[in-house]
Amino acid sequence: MSDAARATLEHEGIVTGTVLKLERRVGLGGPVIVKLGRARLAIARAVAGKVEVETVEEEPG
Amino acid sequence: MRLSRFLGRGRSARADGDLPLIALVGRPNVGKSTLMGVASGRYVESVNAPGTTVMVERARVRTPEGKAWLADTPGTLSLQDSPAGGDPFWKTLTALRPDAILLVGDAGDLRRHLPLALACRDLGLPIVFAANLVDEAAGHGIEIDSGRLSQLLAAPVHLTDGRRGSGVREAVTDAVRLANYRRERLAGASPRSTVPARIYDLGLERHLTERAREMQTGRSLGAASVAAPALRDLVAASVVSPRGAAALAMAIDLEPARWRVGGDWAAQVERRRDMTTSLADRMSIWTTSIWPGLPLFLGATISVFVTMLVVGGVLSDLLTRSWDATVAPALTGAAEGLAPGSPIAAGVLWGLNGGILAVLAVGVPYIFTFYLLLAILEDSGYLTSAAVLTDRLFNVLGLPGRAAIPLLTATGCNVPAIYGTRVLPRRRERLLGAFLITMVPCSAGSAVVMAALAPFAGPIVALAAFVLIGAITFVAGLAANAIVPGRQSELVLELAPLRLPVARQVLRKAWFRFAEFAHSAVPIMLGGSIVLGLAYETGLIWPAAKVLDPIVIGWLGLPSVAGLAMVFGFLRKELALQLLVALAVVQLGATAATLNSFMTPGQLFVFAIVTSVSMPCAATLAAMAGEFGWRPALAMLTTTLTIALAAGGVLARLLSVA
């Protein structure tokens, strides 16, 4: 991942401890779309593949 | 640089009344430009897509607290972000020397907008927070406790709806009040710096305090403080507080803390109600899925193309007929009356007539129509969905997916497509996009290919010409991607919410963009037209033909007049074909009244390919020079001409016409 992409992810709020929701992967090798609060982010797979994630249970309600 | 131009104007403006300056700061696509337009009553470019404002715009505002300058800055993700591809944002901001900052954040997504507010707050400048887009937040069941947020930020907070104007005047008035207060305080005998309440954990706060002391005293800051001298200068000039300079130096440590605090504060001030998924949200998902997103994308682009062709064609025909029936005869009569038989008068007349007609036949019908369609697409928020869908395809050419929009619209007219490259985030990508646009046959270029080949070589050959032009463009794009230094940006893109465009904003945007086009391109179209007209009427054009003969006859295997026609095509592509016949009749006699009477199908094929791929028209060149500067524009002109001549020469030999 380039420094620019890493910085953009951080500026978008994807920092350690952030909870985000994987909305879907766009077909034909397109980016993944994640929900972060009310915002939706499209992230190239090459970048998304380098973000370490841990699955957490969705809070009820 | 645009910023220095702005600063120049800003300085003179300050001398004229010495007004305070309020910087509008916020993340991309949060409505800063719309808000500024409402506050100042003047047009400011705004798009429902991230990264519209790439330069600083300013406007004067009048409030109950007095007049002030309002400066619209590029949308930025943080103070360290480089939204215009150059310096980090904090340098742009501090170069403006703002007296206060009006932060614009999304009321429905405070968690992601408060960290930037905290960073600005840390600078020690007065801030006012405009929680914008409250209407959309309410639509998502989100309400904001502005009083509580004001307590936490220690700053005025206003709920605003920039598109309808509510709350905007109050927010700007508060910002002017605080700016005036700061200026009075700085002008006093013992100015005190603003020390915001402590919000970070104890260790960070202690570190900040130590660094702030170092900034103030000028003691050595150690090897890690590369930017320290510049930061100390900012403190000495009272642009930021010592703590503000320390916060800039400690940005890497502070940023995660700001996200934590922003998240905590957002949770405290937001009230959420459960809402069903809105139609806009569902459409956002559809438009970024392969199904039905891809058919929708194809439908949208074909609709733009067809609408441009149909509406543009009808308008073009109407305006051309009106011009020919009314103004053109009057112009001819005036020229003959003033200087009968003068070749110079005839040349100027020819140039004026052709130049203005070009504006009427291409500028108004195709370009204004395109700007209307583009404004609708932009304000609907659809551009980011298209960018996601086509990202992989355009990555091969070093372009992000959003390049699809200007490239497809270039098939109508190259000029607005050049301006359309503004949707691309980096200059490299804009240059690559513009280069490809110059090779895409516009409607006039397509007309040349169709009219030259379909009647005399058959529709299959015409179709083959388009396929060949597409292949040449693709290969040139691959080569340009490999040659032009720099890397392609990796996609990390916030998807704009889909919104119903507001008709008034769409019309205003289209009109102001068209005025910008007219200002830059029309003088060149008229000037070029007059020069060519004079060359034709005075006969100077024939020696020029001799100069071109080694290339035209020797390399491309075409008749001499074809070279002149291609040169005239620089004015307007479709002129190339009309002039080819006209010049052939002058040189070869009446028997050359049709293309196939003096050119073989092979020669026509070569002519069509070279004319279509080669140089852009004068208006496109002017647009490129306006957007990128003359050097890149001329470099692209030379490159496309070289590619066209190389392809033409090879084709001429393959088809045995040379």
Residue-range domains of chain B with CATH: 16-197 (3.40.50.300), 290-489+504-657 (no CATH)
pLDDT of residue B14: 45
Chain B residues within 8 A of A11 when measuring between CB atoms:
77-78, 80-81
Report whether B649 contacts B555 (CB < 8 A). Answer: yes
Percent of chain B with pLDDT over 90: 33
Dist. CA B144–CA B19, nearest whole Å: 33
ipTM of the complex as predicted: 0.93
Kindly determine whether residue B81 and residue A38, on different chains, have CB atoms separated by under 8 Å: no
Q: Which of A1-10, B52-61, B467-476 has the highest mean pLDDT?
A: B467-476
Residue B655 in tokens: 């088809």
What is the tens place of the pLDDT at every residue in B509-550? 788 878 877 776 677 667 767 777 787 778 887 788 888 999
pLDDT of residue B32: 86
Dist. CA B641–CA B476, nearest whole Å: 12
**Which of B610, B606, B618 minimizes the C-alpha distance to B643?**
B610
Kindly determine whether residue A47 and residue B491, on different chains, have CB atoms separated by under 8 Å: yes
Residue B162 in tokens: 């920039």
Chain A residues within 8 A of B275 when measuring between CB atoms:
none
What is the tens place of the pLDDT at every residue in B440-458? 887 677 777 877 887 788 8
Kindly determine whether residue B81 and residue A7, on different chains, have CB atoms separated by under 8 Å: yes
B-facing residues of A in 15-44 (CB < 8 A) are 15-18, 23-24, 26-31, 33, 36-44
pLDDT of residue B312: 77
CB–CB contacts below 8 A, A to B: 100
Kindly determine whether residue B77 and residue A15, on different chains, have CB atoms separated by under 8 Å: no
* Å between A16 CA and nearest CA of chain B: 8
Report whether B573 contacts B566 (CB < 8 A). Answer: no
Q: Work out the angle at residue A36's Cα, subtended by the Cα atoms of residues A31 and A38, and round it to the nearest 5 degrees.
A: 115
Kindly determine whether residue A43 and residue B142, on different chains, have CB atoms separated by under 8 Å: no
Kindly give, in sequence order, each residue whose CB lies less than 8 Å from that of residue B388, ignoring residues fewer than 6 positions away. A26, A30, A31, A33, A42, B288, B401, B491, B493, B495
How far are the Cα atoms of A11, A44, A51, B652 from residue A5, in angstroms, in the given order?
10, 10, 11, 47
Dist. CA B219–CA B213, nearest whole Å: 9
Question: Residue A15's closest chain B neighbor by CA?
Answer: B256
Kindly determine whether residue A43 and residue B389, on different chains, have CB atoms separated by under 8 Å: no
Q: Output the pTM of the full model.
A: 0.72
Question: Is pLDDT at B404 greater than 60 in this prediction?
Answer: yes
What is the tens place of the pLDDT at every residue in B164-212? 889 999 999 999 999 999 998 888 755 555 556 778 989 999 999 999 8
**Which of A5, A12, A10, A11 minimizes the C-alpha distance to A39?**
A12
Chain A residues within 8 A of B290 when measuring between CB atoms:
26-28, 30
Q: Picking from B95-104, B117-126, B153-162, B578-587, which range would have the lowest pLDDT averaged per residue?
A: B578-587
Kindly determine whether residue A41 and residue B492, on different chains, have CB atoms separated by under 8 Å: yes
Of the candidates A15, A41, A42, the beta carbon closest to that of B259 is on A15
Query: How does residue A48 score in pLDDT terms, banded at 50, 70 and 90?
Result: very high
A48 in contact with chain B, both atoms CB, cutoff 8 A: no
Q: Show the DSSP H helices in B89-241 as ranges.
A: 89-96, 110-122, 134-139, 146-153, 168-187, 202-217, 228-236
Of the candidates A4, A11, A30, the beta carbon closest to that of B78 is on A11
Question: Is pLDDT at B264 greater than 90 in this prediction?
Answer: yes
- The pLDDT mean for chain B works out to 83
Of the candidates A23, A40, A44, the beta carbon closest to that of B490 is on A44
